Structure 1
């Protein structure tokens, strides 16, 4: 296998007729395959909708106009996409009227979805019928397609041949996220409330009964006073992440996909107690398995595992959250969808891993792919080849205003101002700095100088600050981000301060945890301080053996030990 990486990739794409070598568990033997050269975030490629077979029905000219797309259906044979002109087109077999055209006729040519003309799509999800739930940029909800179990939320069980605006109990709400199980639907509102409707044989709409729910109803119980920030659906189960990082689950649990340590169904939301002390940011559901991503970049999985979709190295189901080991890189994105047994993840370094069902084979451990996007995993490996989220495709050759500004940073040919830091120049534009920063608005107001010397901050830190004013983002090591946090505090740049804290969180490890905790205390970054403290407690044995802990400031050490004792860190 050592010299056959290309053969394996061709096989997974369906371009080779050879059967894959299997390991002793029946999965692809990827342990000896050479790893691709490390990819960086800057080398990300534009999403290519052409990887989905259904798009082969479109011409090159039509493909170039695509800006958003969703591929769905029992065989990936339905598609909805938007164009540069905000027009919505559909094509495919049109099962149960799921294309929303007013009929059930299949079409191999894109047809305009006139009833949603002028609407901008914010998010979209689909069920197995299939049915479609769409939220617009204004927060309105539209549904259509299969409705045998009231999954359209319009109070009937008649299939919806055209998009129907769902306003019952949602008329004064702005929907910001949607999720569909096989035959039920969830939406999340801007004020953190979850509404559910549709098939409820296992309690998946969270109503404390098993009667189908024909119209949107708020999911309450344990979620009554919680602010939900993320939702997801498995085939017949539902998940919600709240702003404190807790995960609540309800619905079918026959494979342990609720993570409660049992296999009994749950008719109302219940907290996943096994994740106590762990802050979850995102949840993603497969057909009968669940993935969560924590604020430390760790992935946990549970539920069905017949294809290795939990990434544990075996095919045994798990009813409790189990860590997924993906090298040592931090995970920044997880991917799964209720119609597949495939899992994927993307790391901070830009690597994309997959595990689970892969073209009929089983991959029981995270496998490093050559992809730059988790979307490509589902296009090329999953069965059916559907999208796990609404794709967004950037246009070729067109630069937005924001993209144009990014290109001009540190460009000597157009700059009218130079900063001299540590003997090196950084090129900038006075007018942009005055527009973007209150400090420069006053300091550059009457200045005719074209060179400004800066000695208070290092070159990497000050360059990152100026680049942030052009790009709204930062790219620094956590240690350098501490210096930028100092600058942000000095210049009263609150948004930059938040970004620095986020960067520090993403780069924390046992070796630097104490130094980052000290910085958080110094700059009064309370959220970051709490995060660093929690990280130290979760990795206490290793952290206390580092040089940073040995050299810790006396007062900080005293406070740390006191606080750690209060949370029970030293109990046997």
Structure 2
């Protein structure tokens, strides 16, 4: 569970208030403002209230949380803050609210007047739902559910992407190389902007004085420009620091570029880089998440094994190579080491104390002292409870009711699946979670399909998606087709298309069956992969 009390500002909250927090963000030039949403969908703020950024309708600071009445009942989907600060908040209904500093039109309401309360901007998007927001120092971006990007605010370096340097007072659709393309995520630096497209391409625009656009030079870009240096990779996430940028590929590789005064690129030196450079770790680790935010010069990453690394400016120290921490999430890096200690994203809090019954059942899994049944798989025993299995799984309910009798032996031998697969399945029934390698997850996907466990199927698909590589991509695609896992099939297909040349050179590709090969080639051709 994330401890929000690690942030100095939120440590002012009492135990009951902390227990009620579902989402939170600490922001401001000195990490002196905060916002949090409760389990009951109420929004509270506290802090200095610079530029009326608390949205309470007055200009007073407060160490006692105040409710933002107009946001009551709203479920927050995305949140971002600028340097003024100004605030952007998107709800699950697709509404966009803005408030705070507005000296450069960054609120998008056509004025330069500060707003002391949240104002609704959704009308500016022609009834399209906003699903993500990002704020630079004094400009703002929004992404719609259709994958379009809108920008507004300060534009002295082209960060609005309009082709000029005139400020943009209201949201304007960003076109150029984004025209008719689907954007899946957006990010802002101080005066820079970036968008990740659904095919893994990255486009950047705005200020690049430190090379933070990764285009090989320090020239500003007034319109979106494709980052050609990463054209052979499929990027899934980008993150901006104060003057540096990081990108994560679907293969778990991390690249960084831009300013390196504090070692924030993680390259082992303090030399600026104008083009992407791969960040290496002590052990070969697949990176699953990267973290940075524009008020700081700190970088962080989490690997597939759950290890968290940090580098850059850390409590005044310059860390030039990724340093392994004892943390379990990247958020803790910014709470304990960033200057200022702001949050790099809207933090979701896992309220573990609501799961006392589930935790009890988790502790009883494979406990021989309380079990009344054991499965024997490959010579190994797994201890379980008949009644619980009947409650949790229709397969076992039918099995025990139809075939079980009081004099039946208390040990059942199984040979249809391997021990790791069957143990993972039984543990899932007790914990609702799965910890398994992608290779074993294929076998568990087969079991989940056979037992009609749809949620388990989805979890297996997520594991497989997180572990896909060029070498195993076609094997995973074949498994997805075989088990009729449509989401997984589409994901694996897109991965194969994005890495088509390398995938078709693997042993797995040349061992596929004829019908699957024909279907794959046909589908790839319809995507235009073979056009001149």
Report TM bin, short chain: 0.7 to 0.9
Match of 2:492 in 1: 528
For 1:470 and 1:170, the matched residues in 2 are separated by 45
Partners of 2:465 and 2:491 within 8 A in 1 = no
How big is the shift at 1:418?
7.3
- Structure 1 residue 374 and structure 2 residue 338: aligned? no
For 2:358 and 2:163, the matched residues in 1 are separated by 48
How big is the shift at 1:532?
6.5
Superposed CA deviations along residues 416-458 of structure 1, whole A, max 9, x for unmatched, are 9976644645555334323xxxx789x6697353797643222
Match of 1:364 in 2: 320
Give 1:503's match in structure 2, choosing from 463, 467, 470.
463
1:149 counterpart SS class: coil
- The runs of 5 or more residues in structure 1 that have no matched partner are 1-45, 567-572
Q: 1:504 to 1:84 in 2, by over 3 A?
A: closer
How big is the shift at 1:393?
2.1
1:521 counterpart SS class: helix
- Structure 1 residue 484 and structure 2 residue 431: aligned? no
Partners of 1:168 and 1:216 within 8 A in 2 = no
How big is the shift at 1:97?
0.6
Match of 1:87 in 2: 42
For residues 211-250 of structure 1, what are the structure 2 equivalents within 5 Å?
A: 211-250=166-205
How big is the shift at 1:262?
2.0
Partners of 2:204 and 2:226 within 8 A in 1 = yes
Instruction: Between 296-305 and 395-404, report the one with greater CA deviation.
Output: 395-404
Match of 2:434 in 1: 474
For 1:213 and 1:284, the matched residues in 2 are separated by 24
Partners of 2:476 and 2:492 within 8 A in 1 = no
For residues 294-443 of structure 1, what are the structure 2 equivalents within 5 Å?
A: 294-326=249-281, 327-395=283-351, 397-399=353-355, 421-422=377-378, 424-425=381-382, 427=385, 428-434=388-394
For 1:216 and 1:400, the matched residues in 2 are separated by 47
Q: 1:536 to 1:401 in 2, by over 3 A?
A: farther
- The runs of 5 or more residues in structure 2 that have no matched partner are 482-488, 526-532
How big is the shift at 1:171?
5.3
For 1:501 and 1:87, the matched residues in 2 are separated by 34
Give 2:33's match in structure 1, choosing from 78, 95, 98.
78
Superposed CA deviations along residues 479-530 of structure 1, whole A, max 9, x for unmatched, are 21232344456567777556445434544579xx36x644543653574366
Partners of 2:211 and 2:259 within 8 A in 1 = yes
Partners of 1:66 and 1:84 within 8 A in 2 = yes
Instruction: Between 455-464 and 227-236, report the one with greater CA deviation.
Output: 455-464
- Structure 1 residue 145 and structure 2 residue 100: aligned? yes
- More relative contact order, 1 or 2 (CA 8 Å, 6+ apart): 1
For 2:14 and 2:348, the matched residues in 1 are separated by 19
For 1:220 and 1:59, the matched residues in 2 are separated by 47
- Structure 1 residue 157 and structure 2 residue 115: aligned? no
How big is the shift at 1:337?
0.4
Q: 1:309 to 1:552 in 2, by over 3 A?
A: same
Match of 1:102 in 2: 57
For 1:538 and 1:124, the matched residues in 2 are separated by 38
Number of residue pairs the alignment of both structures matches: 502
TM-score, normalised via structure 1 length: 0.78
- Structure 1 residue 65 and structure 2 residue 25: aligned? no
For 2:455 and 2:17, the matched residues in 1 are separated by 39
1:177 counterpart SS class: strand
Match of 1:263 in 2: 218
Q: What do you get for the CA RMSD once the two structures are aligned?
A: 3.6
Q: 1:392 to 1:529 in 2, by over 3 A?
A: closer
TM-score, normalised via structure 2 length: 0.83
For 1:498 and 1:87, the matched residues in 2 are separated by 31
Instruction: Between 461-470 and 162-171, report the one with greater CA deviation.
Output: 461-470
Match of 2:78 in 1: 123
